[in-house]
Amino acid sequence: CMIAQKYGRIINISSAAAAGVKGQVIYGTSKAGILALTSGVALEVAQLGITVNSVMPSAKTRLLDAFLDAVSAGVVEVPANAMQGFELGLPDNNAPIVTYLASERAGGTTGRAFNIDFAGNLRLVRVASEVKCLRKEVWTEQDIERVMPVLLSEATC
Catalytic site includes residue 27 = yes
89/61 Cα distance (integer angstroms): 7
Active-site annotation holder among 7, 27, 86, 100: 27
Distance CA 7, CA 47 (A): 10
Percent helix, strand and coil across the chain, each to the nearest 5: 45, 15, 45
- Phi, psi dihedral angles at 91 (to 5 degrees): -60, -30
Please give the positions annotated as active site: 27
